[in-house]
Amino acid sequence: ETTNGCWDTTFAVVALTEYVQLFIPTAFTPNGDGVNDTFEIKGTPMADYNMYIYNRWGQQVWSTHNFEDQWNGEDQYGNPVEPGAYIYKIQGTDYQKTPVLYDGTVNVVR
């Protein structure tokens, strides 16, 4: 209320956009020393998250559907993978259901 006894109301429309921003390392060293032992994706979690890891022959060696999971350099059977470059594909949606795709390579250094 103003000093003249008047009331006023103001409205504002605020649009919030949820952009997916990820930090994806280019290498990790799964050697058990406690430093960079896993391939860990950091950033904005996605809905419908899927990450796939492929070897140089295009064979899938690991996958997850949980953003919190980290690849420890082992295949789906628990065997250590060979050192070298691996392809990752990350698929999901942001919170507005817009498809989000990331792909690239990560190096396993032993």
Tens digit of pLDDT per residue, the chain (110 long)? 666 776 655 565 555 556 778 999 999 999 999 999 999 999 988 889 999 999 999 999 999 999 999 999 999 999 999 999 999 999 999 888 889 999 999 999 99
7 assigned to some structural domain: no
pLDDT at 55: 98
1 assigned to some structural domain: no
* Beta strand 27-28 pairing with 99-108: parallel
pLDDT at 57: 97
pLDDT at 14: 53
Q: Are the beta carbons of 68 and 89 closer than 8 angstroms?
A: no
Q: What is the CATH number of the domain that holds 85?
A: 2.60.40
76 assigned to some structural domain: yes
The residue length of the chain stands at 110
For 38, the domain range is 23-108
4 assigned to some structural domain: no
74 assigned to some structural domain: yes
pTM: 0.81
Structural domains of the chain, count: 1
DSSP 3-state percent helix, strand, coil across the chain (nearest 5): 0, 40, 60
52 assigned to some structural domain: yes
62 assigned to some structural domain: yes
Neighbours of 109 (CB within 10 A): 12
